[in-house]
Amino acid sequence: MPKWIREGKLKPSSEWNKDLKIKFTVQDPCQIVRKSFGDKIADDFRFAIAQAVGEENIAEMYPNKSNNYCCGGGGGFLQSGFKDQRLEYGRLKDEQIKQSGAQYCIAGCHNCHAQIHELSHHYGGNYQVVHFWTILALSLGILGPNERTYLGDDLKDVNVFHPESALY
């Protein structure tokens, strides 16, 4: 996606977030960043996110990129039956997200998405977790009303594509 933005095939705009100033943090997926492509792909990911939400609205977790902590959703932990231990494992991630001050955590992997969603509820952080393509589509002005399951109330009505197609 960063490549398609650089090539001009995708033209996201962060204008929608200029006044809202909603902050986004990034959960670097262990598999894609640390275990496969390193900091380079993490930087590429941030380039694309900055185009979509505005660079000043990225709120980093520390440590991050190749040094990022696993959220606890990987390795089969979500299916292993050790729920209490999994939530305890994720406490570190929850604290990192809260410290970033972000209202949204962008997750690049389904396991992270599920685990961080549960962490937000369990520890009462009330932050949202989203796939990047949802936010990119929002910034491209093509995100419809029924594609917003994981957006909070602050973004349910922002930049809605074909609002008349809402099912509710």
Partner 1 sequence: MIMADVAIKLEGKSRRSLLDDVKALLPEGNLSLCLTCGLCSSGCPATGLEGMDPRKFLRMLVLGLDEEILKSDWPWMCTMCQRCVYVCPMKIDIPQLIFNVRGARPRDERPKGIRNSCDVAVASESCSAMGTPVEDFKFVVNDVLAEYREAQPEFADMQAPIDKVGAEFFINQNSREPMMEPDEMVPLWKILHLAEVDWTYGSRAWAAENYCLFLADAKNWEHLVRKKAEMATELGCKTYLNTE
Looking at the Cβ atoms of 14 and 66, the one nearer to partner 1 is: 66
- For the bound state, the minimum distance from the C-beta of residue 23 to partner 1, rounded and expressed in Å, comes to 21
CA distance 52 to 26: 13
Nearer of residues 19 and 155 to partner 1, judged by Cβ: 155
Task: Give least dist CB 140 to partner 1, A.
Answer: 7
- Shortest Cβ distance from residue 72 to partner 1 (Å)? 6
- Tokens (6 digits) for 53: 């939400």
H/E segment holding residue 129: strand 128-131
Q: Which is nearer to partner 1, 69 or 127 (CB)?
A: 69
Residue 3 vs 56, nearer CB to partner 1: 3
CB of 155 to partner 1, least distance (A): 13
Residues that bind partner 1 (CB under 8 A): 1, 4, 9-10, 30-31, 34-35, 63, 66-70, 72-77, 79-82, 85-86, 88-93, 109-111, 131, 133-134, 136-137, 140, 142-144, 146-147, 149-150, 161-162, 165
* Sign of the torsion angle spanned by Cα atoms 108, 110, 27, 132: positive
Output phi, psi for 166, to 5 deg.
Answer: -60, 140
3-state secondary structure 16-76: HHCCCCCCEEEECCCCCHHHHHCHHHHHHHHHHHHHHHCHHHECCCCCCHHHCCCCCCCCC
